[in-house]
């Protein structure tokens, strides 16, 4: 009986959808100010604990207000917490919450934060990014089911105070907390509806917007949240995130005025757009690093001289100026140059083919015995150009390069399994150097794709991790990075540039290195 009902329900949904298809015309009147943003795909979920994608992060940040938030230019500002203090050992953080309401009018309490953090780390939630908050005391054990969620290092002494207990000092906590994994969830709603709390009809959030509607592959629509603490300053009434996976399709839709903002367009269009749409085009460097990683356990690359030779043969300037052509920043440090409070000891220089040839010769490779390798990269038009060019640079040394591309899933599953020789990798996200340098840590797990191991480096990194003072911490990290890169386990290449088109009617949109553009700061003229 139950199943028949389910079937009938599906039939009904189907009929509704058919009716909808035939009746959908422009519903939104002229009165409401609507912003349509091109998104590189459909969200896979809007549950902040289950999210994995960047595009989901953007949508969620419009709907939730975490303890910390970002202003229009991507700097960290207070969010749900109006202020916070750290204990002298850097282990206890106390947050004071501002008066703040859910979109159904109930107040946001510290208990909501405790509830969400416990839910995030509970194994049943299966949160893919739970490890973002492994910095919390007992977090790892809770996540693997060894300890109870109640043992997590977070507590609410009263409705307006939240206390977090860390395992190790982590000065970057305010930055870590503005990811959706740190958002508060409406405990009363999640308890009532379970998994279905994310449906538009049940949706409750505490940010500038709330979920109005989600038609898969078509649009996620948000409307203004009347209970948002700063709602008088929110100018746009409705936001629609429209999934457009193909960059040409999204470009066409922008040109046809169907989208107001797009975050990507074909690179070749840049020059002509600068003439025809000068006020629309924005280029901004992203906190990111693209690099090549050597599998140090493969026979060719156990010898550091070979890795060095290949690194020296790459002319990053040529790559960014001739091939990428969108103002990417060539970078030999694994930490993006735009990270504040850190200056790498590694200098970015041009190619040095002579030295490179000499090193290869020393390592025993030459005309009769050429170095053979397979270079792997992720499928995509832009990647293809970059890795074809790198292969060409290596071929000049007489290296026999085979190119191999695979879809993202396959590429990273191969890398994780160590099935590669040298491969493309990339890392995006935070504005702290550790986030990038720890990619070379032998204890970080799978993301140290090349399985690089250096006891000296590990010791320095762990020392940094136990240092509270951020300036001292940065200087230890500097040494650690320089030490590791002397072994050439990776070849950092460049920092990515985001190419956006923004309709000049919109004000309050600023290019920034986190590519964070909260709609609450924007307005339409």
Partner 1 sequence: MKRLWHDKSLFLASVTLICVVLLVLVGPLLAPWSYEVVDWNAVNAPPSADHWFGTDGAGRDLFARTLVGGQVSLGIAILATCVSFAIGVPWGAIAGYVGGRTDQLMMRVVDGMYSVPFILVVILLVVLVGRNAYLLFVGIGAVSWLDISRIVRGQTLVVRTGQFVQAARGLGASRPWIVWRHILPNVVGIAFVYATLTIPGVIIAESFISFLGLGIQEPQTSWGVLVSDGTKEMHSSPWQLAFPAAFLVITLVCVNVIGDKFRDAITVSSIRR
Partner 2 sequence: MSIYVFKRAAFTLVTFVVVVSATFFLLRIAPGGPFDSERQLPPEVEANLLAAYHLDEPLYLQYLRYMGNLVRFDLGPSIKQHDFTVSELIAAGLPVSLCLGALALLIALTTGVAIGSFAAFRHNSWLDRCLSATTTLGLALPPIVTGPLLVLLFAVSLRWLPAGGLDSYLSFVLPSVALALPLAAAIAKLVRGACIEVMDQPHVTTAKAKGISNVRLAFHHVLPAGMIPILSFLGPASAALLVGSLVIEEVFALPGLGRYFVQGALNRDYTLVMGGVVVYALLILILNFVVDLVYVRLDPRIRIEDQAAAS
Q: Residue numbers of the site for partner 2 (CB under 8 A)? A: 3, 6-7, 10, 13-14, 17-18, 20-22, 24-26, 42, 44-47, 50, 52, 123-131, 134, 140, 143-144, 198-199, 214-219, 242-246, 248-249, 252-253, 255-258, 407-410, 412-414, 416, 425-427, 445-447
What letter would DSSP give residue 72? T
Q: Which is nearer to partner 2, 25 or 88 (CB)?
A: 25
**Min. distance of Cβ 489 from partner 2 in angstroms?**
16
Residue 157 to residue 117: CA distance in whole angstroms: 15
Q: Does 403 engage in binding with partner 1 (CB under 8 A)?
A: yes
How far is CA 73 from its chain centroid? 17
Q: Does 322 engage in binding with partner 1 (CB under 8 A)?
A: yes
Residue 421 to residue 295: CA distance in whole angstroms: 5
**Min. distance of Cβ 2 from partner 2 in angstroms?**
9
Q: What are phi and psi of 88, to 5 degrees?
A: -65, -30
CB 519 within 8 A of CB 496: no
φ/ψ bin of 437: left (φ > 0), alpha (ψ from -120 to 50), beta (otherwise):
alpha
Q: What is the footprint of partner 1 within residues 267-296 (CB under 8 A)? A: 267-269, 271-272
Q: Which is nearer to partner 1, 44 or 276 (CB)?
A: 276
Q: Is residue 215 helix, strand or coil?
A: strand
Counting residues that bind partner 1 (by CB under 8 A) gives 27
Q: Which is nearer to partner 2, 138 or 478 (CB)?
A: 138
**Which of 409, 302, 395, 411 has the alpha carbon at shortest distance from 357?**
395
Q: What is the footprint of partner 1 within residues 343-382 (CB under 8 A)? A: 379-381
Q: Does 410 engage in binding with partner 1 (CB under 8 A)?
A: yes
CB 244 within 8 A of CB 39: yes
CA distances from residue 143 to 30, 120, 131, 379 in whole angstroms, order as listed: 49, 8, 8, 33
Q: Give which of partner 1, partner 2, none residue 341 binds (C-beta under 5 to 8 Å, depending on kind).
A: none
CB 321 within 8 A of CB 315: no
Q: Given the rule CB under 8 A, which of 54-62, 117-125, 362-370, 406-414 is the region that contacts partner 1?
A: 406-414
Q: Give which of partner 1, partner 2, none residue 392 binds (C-beta under 5 to 8 Å, depending on kind).
A: partner 1
Q: What is the footprint of partner 1 within residues 447-506 (CB under 8 A)? A: none
**Min. distance of Cβ 388 from partner 2 in angstroms?**
21
Q: Which is nearer to partner 2, 92 or 202 (CB)?
A: 202
CA distances from residue 362 to 303, 308, 421 in whole angstroms, order as listed: 10, 12, 21
Residue 149 to residue 153: CA distance in whole angstroms: 9
Q: Is residue 394 helix, strand or coil?
A: helix
Q: Which is nearer to partner 1, 135 or 498 (CB)?
A: 498
Q: Given the rule CB under 8 A, which of 161-169, 200-208, 220-228, 389-397 is the region that contacts partner 1?
A: 389-397
Q: Give which of partner 2, partner 1, none residue 349 binds (C-beta under 5 to 8 Å, depending on kind).
A: none
Q: How many CB atoms lie within 10 A of CB 428?
A: 17
Going through 196-287 in order, the beta strands assigned E by DSSP cover: 209-215, 219-224, 238-243, 261-262, 281-285
According to DSSP, the residues that pair with 329 across neighbouring strands are: 495
Q: Give which of partner 2, partner 1, none residue 52 binds (C-beta under 5 to 8 Å, depending on kind).
A: partner 2
Q: Does 404 engage in binding with partner 1 (CB under 8 A)?
A: yes
Q: Give which of partner 1, partner 2, none residue 13 binds (C-beta under 5 to 8 Å, depending on kind).
A: partner 2
N-to-C CA span, the chain:
56
Q: Given the rule CB under 8 A, which of 202-210, 315-323, 452-460, 487-495 is the region that contacts partner 1?
A: 315-323
Q: Does 318 engage in binding with partner 1 (CB under 8 A)?
A: yes
Q: Which is nearer to partner 1, 19 or 403 (CB)?
A: 403
Q: Which is nearer to partner 2, 249 or 471 (CB)?
A: 249
Residue 349 to residue 224: CA distance in whole angstroms: 50
Give the footprint of partner 1 on this chain (CB under 8 A). 247-248, 266-269, 271-272, 318, 322-323, 379-381, 384-385, 387-389, 391-392, 403-407, 410
């Amino acid at each position: 009986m139950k199943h028949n009902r389910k079937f009938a329900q599906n039939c009904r949904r189907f009929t509704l959808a058919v009716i909808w298809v035939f009746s959908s015309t422009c519903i939104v009147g002229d009165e409401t100010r609507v912003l349509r943003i091109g998104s590189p795909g459909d969200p896979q979920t809007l549950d902040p604990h289950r999210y994995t994608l960047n595009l989901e992060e953007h949508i969620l940040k419009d709907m939730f207000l975490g303890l910390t938030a970002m202003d229009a230019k991507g700097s960290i500002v207070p969010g749900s917490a109006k202020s916070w203090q750290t204990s002298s050992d850097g282990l206890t953080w106390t947050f004071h919450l501002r008066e703040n309401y859910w979109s159904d009018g109930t107040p946001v309490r510290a208990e909501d934060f405790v509830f969400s953090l416990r839910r995030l780390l509970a194994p049943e939630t299966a949160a893919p990014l739970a490890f973002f908050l492994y910095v919390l005391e007992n977090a790892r054990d809770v996540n693997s089911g060894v300890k109870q969620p109640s043992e997590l290092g977070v507590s609410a002494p009263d409705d307006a105070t939240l206390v977090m207990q860390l395992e190790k000092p982590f000065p970057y906590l305010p930055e870590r907390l503005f990811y959706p994994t740190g958002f508060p969830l409406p405990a009363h709603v999640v308890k009532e509806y379970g998994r279905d709390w994310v449906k538009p009809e049940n949706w409750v959030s505490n940010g500038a917007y709330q979920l109005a509607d989600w038609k898969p592959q078509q649009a996620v629509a948000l409307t203004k949240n009347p209970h948002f603490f700063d709602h008088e300053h929110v100018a746009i009434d409705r936001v629609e995130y429209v999934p457009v996976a193909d960059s040409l399709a999204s470009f066409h839709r922008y040109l046809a005025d169907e989208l107001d903002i797009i975050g990507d367009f074909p690179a070749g269009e840049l020059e002509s757009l600068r003439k025809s749409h000068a006020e629309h085009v924005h280029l901004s460097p992203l906190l990111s690093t693209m690099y090549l990683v050597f599998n140090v356990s493969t026979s060719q690359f156990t010898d550091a001289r070979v890795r060095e030779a290949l690194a020296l043969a790459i002319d990053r300037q040529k790559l960014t100026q001739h091939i990428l052509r969108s103002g990417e920043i060539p970078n030999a440090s694994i930490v993006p140059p735009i990270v504040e409070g850190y200056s790498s000891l590694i200098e970015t220089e041009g190619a040095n083919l002579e030295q490179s040839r000499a090193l290869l010769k020393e390592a025993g490779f030459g005309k009769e015995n050429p170095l053979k390798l397979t270079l792997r990269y992720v499928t995509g038009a832009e990647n293809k150009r970059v890795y074809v060019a790198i292969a060409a640079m290596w071929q000049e040394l007489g290296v026999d390069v085979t190119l191999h591309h695979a879809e993202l899933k396959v590429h990273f599953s191969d890398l994780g399994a160590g099935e590669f020789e040298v491969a493309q990798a990339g890392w995006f996200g935070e504005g702290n150097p550790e986030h990038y340098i720890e990619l070379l840590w032998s204890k970080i797990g799978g993301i140290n794709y090349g399985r690089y191991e250096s006891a000296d480096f590990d010791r320095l990194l762990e020392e940094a991790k136990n240092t509270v003072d951020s300036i001292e911490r940065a200087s230890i990290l500097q040494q650690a990075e320089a030490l590791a890169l002397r072994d050439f386990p990776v070849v950092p290449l460049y920092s990515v540039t985001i190419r956006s088109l923004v309709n000049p009617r919109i004000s309050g949109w600023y290019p920034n290195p986190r590519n964070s553009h909260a709609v609450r700061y924007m307005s339409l003229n």
